[in-house]
Chain A
Amino acid sequence: MRIGIVTFPGSNCDHDVYHVVKHTCGAEARYVWHKDRLPAGMDAVVLPGGFSYGDYLRCGALARFSPVMEDVVAFAKSGGPVLGICNGFQILCESGLLPGVLMRNSSLKFLCQDVLIEVQGKETPVTRSLSGERLRMPVAHAEGNYFADGGTLDRLEGEGLVVFRYVGGAPNGSSRDIAGIAGGPRRNVVGLMPHPERASEVVLGCQDGRRLFESLLG
């Protein structure tokens, strides 16, 4: 498995994802600079967390115009697995690959804490055999308050596309406690606010996040 990890100006979790994919899980990882094209032969793409373009205008709004995103969109539309974490989730929403938007947390505070999320909905490349599991990992965001109109939320729920939900209530005000959703032609596009790459090793106190990467890597 070869995983492409996109680095935008302002990405700051790209190295963490690279480390988990390569050193913790033993798969092939490759950085892809946002101005370059997506190299051929990638099995999956990760849009990592951070503050792409300094969160100017709106989180993720400018990153979608990076040259690499044209290829990421085509890759996603052809069924290629794409995982967006935190700012990566925001970019997926702004680029139209996933519906809705991540708004400012209802508390107006930057949240940096562990959360418990439950894997729900239909299976995706990162949630194979994980349905019903409760996983602990940290969130670190100021804009993680998922919002979509009622019709869109109903459709997401009805089609089993709400794949991660906060247990015990969303800390950020997210509609229906949504922590992550899936989309794309084969539920191959997944975005979530919590950081699985920060909970993938014993030394970090929790390995729950690693299970998403192991699912992705098959």
Chain B
Amino acid sequence: MAKMAKVFVTLKRGVLDPQGSAVARSLRSLGYEEVADVRLGKYIEVSLRDGASNEDERKRIDEMCKRLLANTVIEDYRIEL
């Protein structure tokens, strides 16, 4: 089965997330008073071709994140391989 990298892109702590705040307010208005905060992010699946070299896979995914998938001025990312 082809390998897949899961990339989670989230806003850095300290960067305001107005979308998350709006969702948190909506949840509270639905009666979920326990909601303290919501942060929205992106989940990206990157499928890799069979036979791609294993060695620098993580390095290359990391490079993809830095160059395109995340904007590191405001976003952090986490890779699951």
Contact = CB atoms under 8 A, between A and B. Distances in A.
A108 interface: yes
Interface of B: 15-16, 18-19, 22, 68-69, 71, 73-74
A147 B73 contact: yes
A59 to B, nearest CB: 10
A101 B18 contact: no
Interface SS of chain A: loop
Contacts of B73: 99-101, 147-149
Given A107-B18, A108-B19, A108-B22, A61 B74 contact: no
A99 B73 CA distance: 9
Contacts of A103: 15, 74
> How big is chain A's contact interface, by range?
10 to 19
14 contacts: A57-B68, A57-B69, A61-B68, A61-B71, A65-B68, A101-B71, A101-B73, A103-B15, A103-B74, A106-B16, A107-B18, A108-B19, A149-B73, A173-B16
Given A101-B73, A103-B74, A149-B73, A108 B18 contact: yes
A99 B74 CA distance: 12
Contacts of B19: 104, 108
